[in-house]
Chains A and B, each alone.
Chain A
Amino acid sequence: MSAWEAVIGVETHVELGTASKMFCGCPADTTAEPNTNVCPVCLGLPGALPVPNERAIEMTVAVGLALGCRIAADSEFSRKNYFYADLPKNYQISQFDLPLCLEGSLDVEVGEQTVAVGITRVHLEEDTGKSTHLGETGRIHEADAALIDFNRCGVPLMEVVTEPDMRTPEQARAYADELRAIVLALGVSDARLEEGSLRFDANVSVRPAGAEGLGVKVEVKNMNSLRSLQRALAHEIERQTALAEAGEPIAQETRHWDEAAGVTKPGRSKEQSSDYRYFPEPDLVPLHVGDEQRDRIAASLPELPAARRARYRGMGLDAGTARLVAEGDGLDEVFEEAAAAGADPQAAATWLTGEVVAHLRRTDARLGATPLDGAALAALLAMIDGGEVSATAAKAVLAGVLDGEGSPREVAEARDLMQIGDAGALEAAVDEALAAHPDEAGRLRDGDMKLIGFFVGRVMQATGGKADPRMVSDLIRGKATG
């Protein structure tokens, strides 16, 4: 029904996981005691000179290559001038007209649809310090002071800017998710939205559906989860569409997402780009990335998430499961080991994304911190296939393995969960069940086969779930007809 369509571009800031800061040797650790990781360079003291961190440059080139960008052989840092108390130099060293990476593209899957999101640029800059506004009411605009911690100031910050190629909040979320997966696969950041090491801002406008030009752009900030990114965009598009339909103007502004209220609110007014008075950073010499360096970084790139998902689908996984395994914390490693050890890939993936993830959630544990490896998972699946443990008992065995009680066989034996596959023992259990319920046993012998299920249940109960239900069923059927 809507005659309006949204146009969305996303800007992503990624704190790079280097050991030291971008332009000085202070530890790039934002969780340290406040103001302990500081030096004359990141405090902006007079006379201090910046020296770029080579590792941060290589990480940025790696991300650029993963996003299909052209790597600029020659680029440079620029000064972005503005006054803010969390940036003591009164300028941020960033990149302006000559960024490291340009003109890439990222394919993003949304349901059955694939959207190619153009990557305008990937550049490198420095993060600002952390500020906390203090006030008796606790409300920012009534604060009477701000407290500053400069530990984060100067931490390498990579910015990835897209073309306005997305049309729905779902597409923007899928893009953000895919970019996060790439960043994690490359190991260049811990990419935690809640902690702010990955930050998404979105530029949103609306226009009549099918129109060519762009409407007035609003920048939406302060979304600290993928879910809130999607919610914030949905709200903002709704807000702009209502204004547009009412013929009211849309102000070009920055708006902040209020997670609790579920609305965007006006933030500080955005200065014009030219007000930043960018100019080439005179304290730094130009950057050069030669073909050899670029090719070396390209050759060192790990398998990217999309390629990994495609490979998993080739192994028989459905699209959803392939994504869960590829992106789950450590699931991919156990999955590949299990498959290599002969486990059926779909079965291994189902157990990993189901029972294993559920157990980790219950116990608040990480897979890497448990003893479960691919060999153990393959062994458990083989025991299920061989009829040695029932599917129900296997869940308990798995829990035992995850809790460090030993190998699947050791846990099954110690917890007395091995399936009773011995016909003699099962027959005794069946006879006992029949004797305990003479009425039902009589009706069964008279041909009421519905009662097989009843007796299977009794036997399973009597054996604590360890009987092989198929064997029990066959035995009961034999008793009924024999």
Chain B
Amino acid sequence: MPIDIDLAYVARLARLDLTDEELASYEGQLQDILDYAARVQALPTEGVPPTSHPLPMRNAHRADEVEPTLDREEVLAQAPDRDGPFFRVPPFLEQ
């Protein structure tokens, strides 16, 4: 059963700038993945508890303790732009 995908929309959500050729190529690939998922979905899962994590583990916590932080100069040096102690980025509030 084919699933309708608006690949341009999905690409926009992921901030991917795709050409028409790429869109066409990925659409086929994504369709294959969804077809595979559809096959899994068709399996009888009655009595199988929903499992979002494959590991038989839970509660891998840490105590509330402070650890060393990174050096600010080193951190800011990784960024394309800075302004004093801040990262500087293009404005991002929509209006």
A residues with CB within 8 A of B: 18-20, 24-27, 33-40, 43, 51-57, 74, 76, 81, 83-85, 131-135, 140-141, 143-150, 268-269, 275, 277, 280, 282, 284-288
Contact = CB atoms under 8 A, between A and B. Distances in A.
Interface stretch (B22-30, B39-47, B57-65): B57-65
A5 B6 CA distance: 40
B76 interface: yes
Q: Is the interface of B mostly helix, strand, loop or mixed?
A: loop
Interface residues of B, number: 35
B11 to A, nearest CB: 13
Given A20-B67, A76-B52, A43 B91 contact: no
Contact of B93 (A24, A40, A140, A147): A140
Contacts of A52: 60-62
Contact of A145 (B52, B68, B88): B88
Interface in B71-95: 72, 75-76, 83-95
Contact of B53 (A20, A132, A280): A280
7 contacts: A25-B62, A53-B61, A54-B62, A135-B91, A146-B89, A146-B90, A268-B93
B42 to A, nearest CB: 21
Contact of A285 (B57, B64, B72, B93): B57
Given A132-B86, A146-B88, A268-B94, 11 more contacts: A33-B72, A35-B87, A38-B70, A51-B62, A76-B52, A131-B92, A141-B93, A144-B91, A280-B52, A285-B58, A288-B58
Nearest to B83: A147
A24 B68 CA distance: 10
Given A20-B64, A56-B64, A85 B59 contact: no
B92 A85 contact: yes
B38 to A, nearest CB: 18
A342 B64 CA distance: 42
A258 to B, nearest CB: 14
A34 B67 contact: no
Q: Is the interface of A mostly helix, strand, loop or mixed?
A: loop
Interface of B: 13, 15, 52-53, 55, 57-70, 72, 75-76, 83-95
Contacts of B70: 38-40, 43
Nearest to B62: A51
Contacts of B86: 34-35, 132, 147-149
B75 A25 contact: no
Contacts of A285: 53, 55, 57-60
B66 A25 contact: yes
A54 B90 contact: no
A38 B64 contact: no
A154 to B, nearest CB: 11
B61 A54 contact: yes
The 5 closest A-B pairs by CB, nearest first: A25-B67, A55-B64, A280-B52, A147-B86, A141-B95
A74 B69 CA distance: 32
